[in-house]
Each structure stands twice: as structure tokens, then as C-alpha cells.
Structure 1
């Protein structure tokens, strides 16, 4: 008896990747007209720790054969070898896989069919869950050297991230330029600089030479932070800032203000006790003090640094809704929640970007764009009340 099984796989995920994931599974045909597993005859994989196989996947032994599972952003492949490691032809084999994403109770099932490359494959776009762990229950039939038994095993793997996704995640973690202290992305796409095999990021080409001329200074992947007492030369900046961002106390209320310089951006504090907070979360306090604006002492330096902004458009998902780029990473990290649904930005396949009166607002799904378009000021105000200043679009 043949049964045609049609499945649609839709996975929602996010860390630094975008877009929706879907696949229409092909027909799954029970081997020899019935399921061997139903009769209790199956070769079940052992729980031994898998090792790497010839194709870079995890290799395990069961039922007299060795099975290699390869997980990539393009789908899942299964290869079979005999005990000596010789590839086994499986043109007549078939399989079914049940996939669960870490943190999601729902399972998604699809087919594994001969791919003409010596394996059984299912072509499914897994890029939306790059970096996420998945659990796969696999059942194979028609595999030689298993005495007609169905092969059943479980695989746990992590969907590998692309170079672009890894870079976006690193930018989101670093948040600010090591040299200037400005948000990464505020001067265009961040630029990676190699320091002894480690990539650090700066806001613009002008900062690259600073890193290359003194790599040891920036090898820690954090901007240089210096602490000193404010002087008479800082009086105008102290007056403009007015309050300590840590304690929300007037500057000068606890003695001479303390000047903390992050990269080349100064922040003034009410006392030395606040320095530890600034060092722990420099990006947070830079955003509190400066928002999208350049510090006053830099504003007269033409072309040195511009107002924080991101590209207005990228790949369009639907009218007025765009995929994000690495330049958006620090602002996504700062916003965190969708102002329409109050959900994490990666909860529904996002984040995506929309134009709200010339500012970028990040949303969890394309459906939220309509509400922001109807009343952009409302959602910009919601973000501002949460301490988030939306970057300008350029």
C-alpha cells in the first residue's frame, strides 16, 4: 500500500539571520508496501558519541552499517558506509525525518530521498535557524547490509552559520567601535580588522589604521576606556550633559565630575563609584548620553563621524518591509522587542526593518509594518519611552 504524505515545513527563528523557512516535502513510500518498524524489526542506533565522517557530518554505527548525517543551511543529507568505511549504494533507499528546533515543542516531518550523489537528502532552507540546535529522528528503509530492517536513530546537530551571519553576530556583541566608541553601523557597514587571527570591528575606514598601528591596544575586542577628573576645559560639555547617566544625579552634586572617555567619546559621572557601571556596559551609557548625536567636541570636525544612521533599503520582503543587514545589528541589539507585538525581534522570523518617518524601526514580522505606517510617531514614542532612539535612514 502506498501513501502519499505531503508536509509543509515552516520554521520561525532568528541571532543575527532573517527570512522565513519553508519546504514542501516529497512523497514518502513505505518500503515493500509495509513498515518494518511496525513489526518490531528495526536497527536502532546506539547512543555512542558520533565522530566526523568523510563529508564532515557526524558518523555513527548501527545495524552493521555506518551512517553519516550532514546538516547544512541547504538541508540534511544521509550517507551510508559498510563497517570498513566503503560507501554503500542506496538508490533504492527512502527515509523520513522528524525535526524539532531547540526551544520549540513542535516537530516538522519531511522526506529523505536519493539525491544522485550517493546519499539520501532533503533540500530544506535552514538558514533562518542558523546557530540553533536541532533534534532529528530518522527512519530509513531499503538500506543494504541491514537484513531488511528499518534503521531508526536520533541525531542532535547545530545548523551552521554563514560567514555573513557570524559577522553580524560578532558586530551585535561588540556593539561599538573600538576606536571611536560610536555604534557600529553608524558610519555604514562596520569594517572587520584582523588582529592575530581575531576579527574586531570599527565604524569606518578612518579607524582601521588606528587598530593596525597599535593592535595590542585593541586585541581585547573592547574600546579603550580612560578615567580622569573633569577640568575647566570640559565645563561646556559637563553643563550640556547636566546629569550622571548612572545615578541620574546632577553633575557636581558629589564633587568634581569624573570624565570617562570611551574611544574618543567622553561621559561625565557624578563620582568614581559609577565608573564600574560604565566599564561593564559602555554601549548602554553611550546611547543614554548621546543617542544618535555626535558629541559636541566632534561636531566641528567635518567628515569625521556622522549621525547614527542605517541604509534605508535592503532586500524587500514586501512593500515597505526590508531584510536587515550587518549595519543594523547594533540597533537590533538595542531595540530587542517589536514595539507593535512586544515580542522579541526574532520571535516570528524577524527582525525586519521599516521606515517610520525617516527612522528605522525593527519589527518581528512583516504584518506589523501596516500599524507603524499608520502611526509612526506612536511607535517611535514607544521606543523612546524604553530608552531606544531609532537610527536615521540614509
Structure 2
């Protein structure tokens, strides 16, 4: 009986917000989202990541993590220390508006078995789009909790593939622009897709996968241990959140190739996985550990095969400064020593020009925002 009374009170509190109700449509009208699915996807705003990888909003003494998927929305509630808050007696409503569209859609938020307030709704029709959320929750504190959030519905498989193709831009075998010979073909290497311009290039990649995946550093994740204490103290802050390491529990250790990056929580891992070169540069920009080995396997005098430690720097450099071509287009990348710095080239033939004018080509890279690593 007591539970029924609480639920009734919660329902009355939500109904009483007439201004909110008047600006939204019934959740029974959620099929109307289909009408706005044809817009161009827009990039989401960067927000702090919660323990489950969602967007984290601060409201009063609470932190609320919003997770959006194609199946709907979940809200997890934490106190200021990051401990979960029970939502068993809570209820809520969320008003959803797709950016660029005036109409709003209203959905109930109800407790689920995972400890969240959940709204089951098909959001696949607006995959890749930004949505504005107006949220009201009752039963958590004495007062109604209200907050707003802007999130991006995860992209569809097709959208993610299109974004990956745009980032890669060229075929690593032929050097031709992806799309110039029809739809690019995906070749899976260690769980990641590398795109080639045509089916004729797939066997080349499969026969030597390490060569074509070298620009993709291997990334592994683990909890930091006592042996990492000195490195954590030296790094001090999480490069994603700019928060002190240890402020959200034991730091997470992410190995990008052979170099560690420490993060405040698991929610930051996805950012590093998406842009490893960016975060390596942030962590090691003023440190001699932004260095790579000189190389032992010589292709010809002064030209070396690359190794795993070179991967993040190859990903950051992208193009040969001599030929202005992608590094993988002519059998490379290869590594040369330019006044103590590593420059990556597309073919051994470019080495002579760099040896003759190392500072010129280091300056070319610097003008592109690339800081060549030190050769140790």
C-alpha cells in the first residue's frame, strides 16, 4: 500500500508540470520520429563521460549519466562521490526534440532491472542526429530534479562505415581515393576494418596485414597497478577530462602501442581509442618519452622498417612530407633520421631529400601541426 501511495504521488508530481506537458506530444506519437530521419547527421557536443560511457550532467548534489542507444534512453543517478543512487521509487519524463525540428516527443522514464530510469523507444530512425533532452525526475530527492542535455544518437553501421572511409580517405595499396573505383571494400584486420579501393587490393592486404595495419596502433586497456605509481604521478591529470588521476578511483591504464596513457575512468577509454595520436601528443608533448627506437632492420642505408612503437606517430603524420602522398601508398611507411627526429616516408627514394635538408622537412611537418618524435 505504501508503494502504491508513493507511485501515485510521483505520478501527480509529474502531471502537475503543465507547462512541460503542453510543450510535448504524447509518447504514443513516437512514430513521428520517422518524419525527421532524413536530415544530415551532425557532430555531438563533447561532454564529460560517466562510468558507463554516457554523458554526465551535474544537477545539485547529483550526477546523472545519460546513455542513448537505438533502443531508447537510460538515466543512471549517482551522488557527488560517484556512488549509485537507488531509483526504485523514482519516475520521470523526458521530452525529446531532434535538432532542427520544432516538434517534441514525450516519454515516461521507469525503473529497470539495471538500476536506471529507462524509456524504451526506437531511435534508430534518427541515428547520427543530435537530440535535445528535457528531463524531469521525481522520487530521488524531496524536490523534482530537472536538467537538460544534448546528446547524439549513435550512428548506424552504414554511417560509421562512411565516417571511417572519410577518415582513411585513400586506399593503402593503390593510393587512389576511396570511392574512385566504386564502393570501398572492407578488409578486417584484428577486429578493425581497413578499406581498399577495389576487390583486387584485398588479397594484398590479407597477405601482409601487419604492413597495412601499422598506422593503427594496438590499444589495450587494464587497471593501473602499484608499479605504475611513478608514471601516474608524473602524468598527474587525465588528458580527456583534465581531472586529477585517482579522483575517480584507480586510474585506467591504456597502452597505445608501447606507450601508456593513464585515464581517470573507463568512460574516457573510447576517446583515446578514437584518437590515439591526439592524446599521446597531449600526454607526451613536453616529455622525452615521445620517442621511438632508431630501428634495426635497414631497407637501405639510413632507411628503416617501422615497428609497433612508430604506429601512433605514423597515424599523426599521415602523409610523406616529400611526396605529399599517404604513407602507405608506395610500399611504406619507412623511417629516416632527420637531425635526431623520426620522419616517416612513403618510399626509400624520399630519404635522400630529407638527409640533404632535414630541417626543411621537419618544418613542413610542423606547419601541418605534426611534431616529429625523437629517435632514442
Larger radius of gyration between Structure 1 and Structure 2? 1
- Between Structure 1 and Structure 2, the one with more helix by share is 2
The TM tier, using the shorter chain, reads 0.3 to 0.5
Q: TM-score, normalised by structure 2?
A: 0.41
Relative contact order, higher structure (CA 8 A, sep 6+): 1
